[in-house]
Amino acid sequence: MPGIIYQTIFFFIIMFSITSSAISGQPEENLPESELNTLLDTIENNFTTVRTLKTMLEQEKTIPVFPETIISKGFCIFQRPDRLRLEFVEPFQSVLIVDGKKMTKYEFFDGQWQKLTPGSADILLKITSNITSWLQGRFRDPDLYEISAVRNENITIKLVPKAAEFKRFIRSFELGLNKRLDGLEHIVITENDEAEAFTRIRFFNDVKNDDIPETVFRGSDSVPSKVSTW
C-alpha cells in the first residue's frame, strides 16, 4: 500500500527554488484563522484563470538511511476539471493518465511500453482528485486535512492528513505558492516515520491555457501518446 501511494503522490505530483521553512530554516509567521480564510478565498479566485497547465518538475527524494538523494525529472499536464497526465522521463520512464474516473498507467520495460492495471484504484483516484483540486487552488477539505498557512518568503499552505489511509503514511503536505498566489512553486511531502523522510518537488517552466490535444489524456491505446517538452 505505501508503495502505491508514494508512487502516485510523488509522480509529480508533483518544486524547488523554495523549500518549506521547516527544512530551509527561514523565519515564518503563522497566519491567524481569519486571515487564512481570506487568503484561501483569494487563492481559489486567482486559480480560476487556469484552464490548462503544463509544468516541468524535478523530484528530490531524501531517505536518511541512504547517503545520496534520489532525483527524478518529468512533467505534469492538467486540464480543468479532472484530467491529469503525470510523466517521468528520467532516470526511468512512467506515465499515469487520469481522465475523470478513468485511470491508466504505463511503464517502460526492456525497451518497450507496457500498459498496467493500477492496483487500489479507489485510493489512487482519491489521491489524484486531491491533486487536481490543488491545481485549481482548492485546498479546503475538512474531512481529509487540518489546514494552516505560514508566511515566509512567500505563502506556504500546510495540510495535515486526518483520513486514515493518508495518516498512516504521510505526516504533512506543504504547498508553496508563487508571489502572485495563482500557482504552485513547490510541494514538500513529509512521511510519517521516525526518520522523517521527505520528498520535495519543484515546478518550473509553467505554460498556462495552451490548447491540449485529446490524445494526451487518452488511455485506450497500448502505448502512451508522445508529448514534446516545452
- The DSSP symbol for 81 reads T
**Phi, psi at 170, each rounded to 5°:** -120, 125
| Domains detected in the chain | 2-217 (2.50.20.10)
Note if the pTM is more than 0.75.
yes
What radius of gyration, in Å, describes the C-alpha atoms of the chain?
17
From the list 155, 147, 126, 146, the residue with the least C-alpha distance to 46 is: 155
Quote the CA–CA distance of 8 and 105 in Å, as a whole number.
10
DSSP for 90-109, written as a single string:
ESS-EEEEEETTEEEEEEEE
Please state which of the ranges 118-127, 154-163, 207-216 shows the lowest mean pLDDT: 118-127
Q: What is the mean pLDDT of residues 64-68?
A: 74
- For the cut 90, the answer to whether the pLDDT of residue 174 exceeds it is yes
- For the cut 80, the answer to whether the pLDDT of residue 11 exceeds it is no
From the list 103, 108, 129, the residue with the least C-alpha distance to 118 is: 103
User: Which residue carries 500498459 as its cell?
Assistant: 115
Q: pLDDT class for 215, splitting at 50, 70, 90?
A: very high
CB atoms within 10 A of CB 134: 22
Question: What are the E-state strand segments in 91-183?
Answer: 94-99, 102-109, 112-116, 145-151, 155-161, 170-177
The predicted structure's pLDDT at residue 207: 96
- Burial 20-40, CB ≥16 within 10 A → b, else e: bbbeeeeebeebeeeebeebb
The predicted structure's pLDDT at residue 61: 87
**Phi, psi at 64, each rounded to 5°:** -55, -30
- For the cut 90, the answer to whether the pLDDT of residue 191 exceeds it is no
Helices and strands per DSSP (H, E), number in the chain: 5, 12
For the four alpha carbons of 172, 173, 179 and 185, in that order, the dihedral sign comes to positive
CB atoms within 10 A of CB 170: 20
Please state which of the ranges 102-106, 110-114, 192-196, 218-222 shows the lowest mean pLDDT: 192-196
Is 19 in a helix, a strand, or coil?
coil
The predicted structure's pLDDT at residue 120: 65
